Chains A and B, each alone.
Chain A
Amino acid sequence: GNSVTQMEGPVTLSEEAFLTINCTYTATGYPSLFWYVQYPGEGLQLLLKATKADDKGSNKGFEATYRKETTSFHLEKGSVQVSDSAVYFCALAYSSASKIIFGSGTRLSIRP
C-alpha cells in the first residue's frame, strides 16, 4: 500500500544551521507530495508542495524536490531560525478528493 516514512525526531539544531528532514514514500503512479508544518497548539499549515517528478516546492526559505527515481521528498533549509521550531509532516495524495497519507511527523527544535 501507499506509505510515507520520515526521519524520526526530535531534531535539535542551533540557529543558522542547515536543516534536512528526510522523507521517502511508497506509492504507485504519480501522487502529489506535500510538507505540512504544525506550530505548537495549532493545526497543520501547508508549507510547500510538488505535483510531478523533478518539481521543486519552496516557501519561507524551505525547499523540497520531488525525486521519483529515489522516491524521496526531503525538506531543506539553509539557515534555520528559532521560529522554525515545530513539527513537520511529509505527506502524499493522489487528488483533492482522496485522503492524504501522512508521515509520523518530525519535531524540530532550534536553539538560539
Chain B
Amino acid sequence: DVKVTQSSRYLVKRTGEKVFLECVQDMDHENMFWYRQDPGLGLRLIYFSYDVKMKEKGDIPEGYSVSREKKERFSLILESASTNQTSMYLCASSQETQYFGPGTRLLVL
C-alpha cells in the first residue's frame, strides 16, 4: 500500500513564526502536492512538484514556499505565519492516482 505521512497531525503556532510542514511518501512517486482544505472552499492547490528540486505554483501560492531536496520528501513552508493560514493542510503524491496523507491541522494564533 502507498503510504503518505505528514510530520504532525495538529500544530499550534504564533503569528509571524516560520512553520515547516513535512510530507514523506514511500512509493517512489515523482509527483507531490500540497493542498489546504477550508470549510465551504473545498481543497485548493498551493504548490506541486513533479521532480526533485522542481516546483510549480498552484492556485493559492501566496504566503507559502516549498522545498523538494529528495524525491520522497516535500516540505511546505510558511515564511511568516498569519491567522488566515489557519487550516487543514493535505499532502498527496502520485504516479497515476493521487494518494493523500492524513492531514495537518494548523492553528495560527
Contacts and interface: CB of A to CB of B under 8 A. Distances in A.
| A and B are interacting partners | yes
Contacts of A103: 42
Contact of A43 (B58, B97, B101): B101
Interface residues of B, number: 25
Contact of B103 (A36, A43, A89, A104): A43
B50 interface: yes
A96 B97 contact: yes
Contact of A49 (B4, B31, B97): B97
A44 B90 contact: yes
Nearest to B40: A104
Nearest to A102: B43
Nearest to B43: A102
Interface string B70-95: 00000000000000000000101011
Interface residues of A, number: 18
A43 B5 CA distance: 10
A44 B31 CA distance: 17
B62 interface: no
Nearest to B97: A46
A100 B90 contact: no
9 contacts: A34-B97, A36-B100, A43-B103, A44-B100, A46-B98, A46-B99, A96-B97, A97-B30, A104-B40
